[in-house]
Structure 1
Amino acid sequence: MPRPIILGVVGDSAAGKTTLTRGLVRLLGEEHVTHVAADDYHRYDRKQRAERQITPLHPDCNYMDIMEQDFAHLREGRAVLKPVYQHKDGTFGAPVYVQPKQFTVIEGLLGYHTEALCDCFDVRVFLAPPEDLRRQWKVQRDCSRRGYSTDQVLEELDRREPDSEAFIRPQQRRADLVVSFQPGDRSDQAHLDAKIGLREGLTHPDLSPFVDDNGGLSLTERKHERSLWIPGDIDPARGAEIEEAIWDRMHFASHLRSERLGEFTVGTELHRSESLALAQVLILYHLATARAAVALGGEGSRTEHRRVPAAAAEQLSS
């Protein structure tokens, strides 16, 4: 049986990791996806962190060695006994036995902090929203779901800033896709622009036919990276056309096609974002491509991996 395909989604607290991955998990099928939160590998609970004056963003506050070991085991298709951190009260629960499925999605703060961790992932995504937007999201989330006051959240954000600068943001350089949702011409959450840095670690689909100056995509290139800009108010028909083109490039995953990409909730209300949908289908393209390459005998779809056997390459391109 082919090994699992591992997706990493890394970013600062409240950067949108869960919103991005929720749609992917729904599309891949929850029965086919193992979800792992890297926060479970915290070394200290909330009370202990306060006593030691350390934030969960600092590597010393996490069992980095156990994280490396467990993620490597998951990539190999081996089960792990995973710790459990409970955000609702900041304590640890009983460990759980985790068996990797076809896909494993790992999200957290420090997933790319070491080379050993990076080597575990087939696809590495980093979320980098503007800081003022991330702070807004964190206040909304922590006040509504985790029992904090606004002042407490803002104070904690300020306290964490040195560690964000030192340990979280530098991980961008190890990502394949750097996704930044940001306010555009319209300020509502359903129409955020998306800037996506496309790095050389993966071979990205060619979207140049959809670049135009009339509200479509824009694409700029510089050394080692292309930057894709998706306007938040892109015409839904144009967005659907681009999605269709990406789906056509992964005919081997046509069974995954769904109309539900781009969905997210605000409170109890369901919304849809074209820019979120396009970001998700790009990530899905890389997951499906990696899955096909591994199934056909290759190491994966990363550019540093050995090429898949000639017969397999022919099947992938046909």
Structure 2
Amino acid sequence: MASPLIIGVAGGSGSGKTTVVNYICEQFGTENLLRLEHDSYYRDLKHIPFEERVKQNFDHPSSLETELMIRHIQALMEGYEVEIPKYDFSNHIRMDESIPAVPTDVILIDGILIFTEQDLLDLMDVKIFVDTDDDVRLLRRLRRDIEERGRTVNGVLDQYEKFVRPMHLEFVEPSKRYADIIIPRGGQNTVALEMVSALINNKMSFSPDNQ
């Protein structure tokens, strides 16, 4: 099997990564692409009472089992199937069932902290950072966490002030220097998306397996 093209999409919480990821998925088709979300690899907190779970800093790199994600990507690169964890964001625990994943031509990794891990960076062929104003990102995070993850307004704002903003400044924002392409104004930047498409197609065309 040919070595897959590995694409990383990073950016702050609420930056519009999903729009960019969906665009790339449309370019290749879901049958040719596997999406791995860093969020799926949050560490299991079943051993901690719920009242303590909600106090954890989920925006620090240590909250994620990145070493397992790296092992999964390496296995996929070698042609093996893997079992991707499923995470319950309402209860902050890893679910009993997992998602089977098979090797594909393109592996897309997305998450706010994927550029902070050197071993993960070393696996990526294309690195994209989605850059969006802080106020826009906060509004999007509010809407997502309330509608999709059962959080309260006060809970989201408290978490943002304590963890999200300081971790963004310490880890996420500095990591964009590793990007091959930075997309300003999020996923609505059609010119930047066209650049992304051209770069990926160029990488695919000049892959040793395609020569």
Q: Is TM more than 0.5 here?
A: yes
In the TM superposition, what are the counterparts of 1:104-253 in structure 2 within 5 Å?
104-160=107-163, 161-181=165-185
Counterpart Cα distance in 2 of 1:73 and 1:50: 36
Instruction: Report whether the alignment pairs 1:65 with 2:67.
Output: yes
1:50 to 1:98, Cα distance in 2 relative to 1, 3 A: farther
Q: Percent identity?
A: 25
2:202 matched to which residue of 1? Answer: 289
Superposition CA RMSD, Å: 2.4
Higher helix share: 2
For 1:51, give the aligned amino acid. Answer: E
**How many pairs align?**
207
**Contact residue 10 and residue 127 of structure 1 kept, 8 A:** yes
Question: Match of 1:55, SS?
Answer: coil
Determine which structure has greater relative contact order: mean sequence separation of CA pairs < 8 Å that are 6+ residues apart, divided by chain length: 2
**Bigger Rg over Cα:** 1
State the Cα distance separating 1:134 from its structure 2 match.
Answer: 0.6
Counterpart Cα distance in 2 of 1:119 and 1:28: 23
Question: Match of 1:112, SS?
Answer: helix
**Contact residue 2 and residue 294 of structure 1 kept, 8 A:** no
Unaligned runs of 5+ in 2: none
For 1:120, give the aligned amino acid. Answer: L
1:51 matched to which residue of 2? Answer: 52
For 1:146, give the aligned amino acid. Answer: R
Counterpart Cα distance in 1 of 2:46 and 2:168: 18
Counterpart Cα distance in 1 of 2:47 and 2:18: 25
Counterpart Cα distance in 1 of 2:47 and 2:135: 28
**Contact residue 57 and residue 168 of structure 1 kept, 8 A:** no
Q: Which moved more, 1:93-102 or 1:126-135?
A: 93-102
Unaligned runs of 5+ in 1: 182-193, 195-261, 263-272, 298-311, 313-318
For 2:192, give the aligned amino acid. Answer: A
2:103 matched to which residue of 1? Answer: 100
Counterpart Cα distance in 1 of 2:192 and 2:75: 28
**Contact residue 44 and residue 92 of structure 2 kept, 8 A:** no
For 1:39, give the aligned amino acid. Answer: D
TM-score (norm 1): 0.59
Counterpart Cα distance in 2 of 1:60 and 1:67: 13
TM-score (norm 2): 0.86
Question: Match of 1:60, SS?
Answer: helix
